[in-house]
Amino acid sequence: MQTATITRLSPRQSPATMQPASGKHETNCTSCNLRELCLPKQIVDSDMARVEQLVFARRRLKRGDFLFKAGDEFNSLYAIRSGFLKTTVLNADGREQVTGFQMGGELLGLDGIGGGRYNGNAVALEDSEVCVLPFALIEELGREIPAIQRNLHSVLSREIVRDHGVMMLLGSMSAEERLAAFLLNLSRRFTARGYSASDFHLRMTREEIGSYLGLKLETVSRLFSRFHADGLIEVQQKHVRILDIPGLEALRRN
């Protein structure tokens, strides 16, 4: 099974750059602290061993490394085990547009399912590790274990909802509302992973935040300073401490 999978990997995903998933000291899916975020909740113990076959390998990325690039042949989905990544596309004029920021427990590569090639780029914002999930194996097990197929449909549905949310964010919210919504979204996602809801380190730059929110760098910097002055947050370079979550929520609703 592994040999067949290796032949589908792109040169950048060669076995030399990956960590085997079956090493003696490797954490498996059963004991992974992100299991509840990655795996279907309906999986029964008798199917768990087969589900763990989905993780062909683990791939480590250094900050700035590409997980995949737009146009690469699609062969796998990737579950983030640790670290933080961003996804981007190129606009018609050649400028990079950030389309999302992904953290532990989230899937990457879904955009490649339809056309057989990845539509955008995925880049590590810090040293990261991902689990490689060959899509052919996901389909095969999905036919035998319905919970896997339902989970994939659920993930795809969440992506559609997220895209709609981004469209609303960019189309109807003011600059202040956009940044407030962005910080609250990060807060909720960190909380779901057992981290502080109000004290975290931003892995992305102000410029990358602006690209994602459709704002200029100067606007993002000015809003961070305003939120700080208004007592909503404390900011020290990339470290953010939310002081008034209800205040941010009220700002987002205005």
Question: Of the candidates 28, 36, 19, which has an alpha carbon nearest to the alpha carbon of residue 54?
Answer: 28
Query: Are 29 and 126 contained in the same domain?
Result: yes
Q: Is the pLDDT of residue 5 over 70?
A: no
Range of weakest confidence among 7-11, 90-94, 162-166: 7-11
11 and 137 share a domain?
Answer: yes
The residue assigned the tokens 């979550």 is 245
Chain segment 193-220, per-residue pLDDT in tens? 889 999 999 999 999 999 999 999 999 9
Question: Distance between CA 148 and CA 140 in Å, rounded?
Answer: 10
* C-alpha closest to that of 217 among 234, 205, 235: 205
Kindly report the CA angle at 210 between 221 and 181, in degrees rounded to 5?
Answer: 90
Q: What are 77's strand-pairing partners?
A: 133
Please give the Cα distance from 247 to 232 (Å, whole number). 7
Q: How many residues does the chain have?
A: 254
Whether residue 193 is contained in a domain is answered as yes
Provide the 10 A C-beta neighbour count for residue 187: 20
Strands 76-82 and 107-108: antiparallel
Percent of the chain with pLDDT over 70: 75
With CA atoms as reference, report the closest residue to 170 among 210, 202, 206.
Answer: 210
Over the stretch 111-143, which tens digit does the pLDDT of each residue have? 898 899 999 999 999 999 998 988 888 888 878
Q: How high is the pLDDT of residue 11?
A: 33
pLDDT band at 252 (very low <50, low <70, confident <90, very high): confident
pLDDT-based confidence at 14, cuts 50/70/90? very low
Higher pLDDT, 46 or 90: 90
User: Is residue 9 within 8 Å of 75, Cβ to Cβ?
Assistant: yes
Question: CB under 8 Å to 179, separation ≥6 — which residues?
Answer: 209, 213, 215, 220, 223, 224, 227
Local confidence band at 99 (pLDDT 50, 70, 90 cut-offs):
very high
Whether residues 136 and 57 fall in one domain? yes
- The average confidence (pLDDT) of the chain is 81
Task: Examine residue 181 and state whether it is found in any structural domain, yes or no.
Answer: yes
Q: Which residues contact 86 (CB under 8 A, 6 or more apart)?
A: 98, 100, 101, 102, 122, 123, 125, 204, 208
Examine the domain organization and report whether 107 and 13 are in the same domain: yes
pLDDT at 44: 61
Say whether both 187 and 141 belong to one domain. no
Tell me which residue range forms the domain holding 127. Answer: 2-145
Helix (H, G, I), strand (E, B) or coil at 230: coil
Instruction: Compute φ and ψ for 159, nearest 5 degrees.
Output: -65, -40
**In the chain, how many domains are there?**
2
Residues 192 and 98 in one domain: no
Tell me the CATH number at 100.
Answer: 2.60.120.10
pLDDT at 171 over 70: yes
CA dist list (Å): 87 to 121, 178, 208, 209, 231: 5, 19, 11, 12, 31
Average the pLDDT over each of 45-54, 105-114, 200-209, 241-250 and give the range with the smallest value: 45-54
Look at residue 50 and tell me whether its pLDDT is greater than 70: no
Nearest to 18, CA basis, from 56, 74, 64, 54: 56
31 and 121 housed in the same domain: yes
Instruction: Say if CB 74 and CB 116 are below 8 A apart.
Output: yes
In a domain, 159, yes or no: no
Q: Which structure tokens are listed for 230? A: 């208004």
